[in-house]
Structure 1
Amino acid sequence: MRRWGGPVAAAMLLLAGGAVAQEAAGDPLAGRRLAGARCAVCHGNDGIAQQPDAPNLAGQSVLYTVAQLRHFRSGERNHEQMNILARDLTDAQIADLAAWYAAIQVEATVPGR
């Protein structure tokens, strides 16, 4: 395994931080409104799935949610319902949805503790 150090590592962190800041620029309240209108039937009002085949979105990382919605929108990732729902989402709406789901705090309990 190779370790990066010095200026290369600093540059990579700055670039990654810029990407996170850019993606995190969504408005969680706008995302909440949009999620209530488009996503809640399957993913729940609070991001906890209502359908057995839908994933929970509460607490999901902004970067992951943005990437997946863009993949659904472009058709790179296939799911009949999601491709239709994501097709007309703008980048701003995707950022808003991602900000909303990332803002929901989820608590995990490890068994046996």
Structure 2
Amino acid sequence: MKLSLMISTLALAALPVMAQAADLEAGKQKATTVCAACHGADGKAMIPMYPNLAGQNAQYLEMAIKAYKNGQRTGGQAPIMTGMAAPLSDADIANVSAYYASLK
């Protein structure tokens, strides 16, 4: 009884994580229209002042984009990034972050 309760609890706890699995193709499409001009089509920026995003940690990217969107990052290119991040949904941010993390 205790084991089945524990398994059920763990399965229910995992549902939000599984339901929010990133969509790499959606991330690629969004990145192409929102991010590629500055960060490169393959996540490797051609302009030195913009960081490479290819291979970056997805959680870091997600936290950074959300921080720009919420006005918590204010240095450097923050005015540009705030404007670019503003229309992105949480799903868009997760998808774009996962897409760039998948690149090498």
**TM-score of the aligned structures, taking structure 2 as reference length:** 0.76
Identity %: 39
1:41–1:50 Cα contact (<8 Å) kept: no
- Counterpart in 2 of 1:100? 99
Structure 1 position 68, deviation (Å): 0.1
Q: How does 1:81-96 map to 2 (within 5 A)?
A: 81-96=80-95
Matched, 1:38 2:37: no
Aligned residues: CA RMSD? 1.7
How far apart, in 2, do the equivalents of 1:98 and 1:26 lie? Answer: 9
- Name stretches of at least 5 consecutive residues in structure 2 with no aligned partner: 1-13
Aligned partner letter, 1:87: A
- Name stretches of at least 5 consecutive residues in structure 1 with no aligned partner: 1-17, 106-113
State the 4+ residue runs in structure 1 displaced beyond 6 angstroms: none
Matched, 1:69 2:43: no
How far apart, in 1, do the equivalents of 2:62 and 2:22 lie? Answer: 10
What do residues 53-89 of structure 1 show as CA deviations (whole Å, max 9, x unaligned)?
A: 1000000111100000000000000211100000111
Name the count of aligned residue pairs.
86
Judging by fraction of residues, say which structure has more helix.
Answer: 2
- 1:48 counterpart (24, 44, 50): 44
How far apart, in 1, do the equivalents of 2:26 and 2:47 lie? Answer: 24
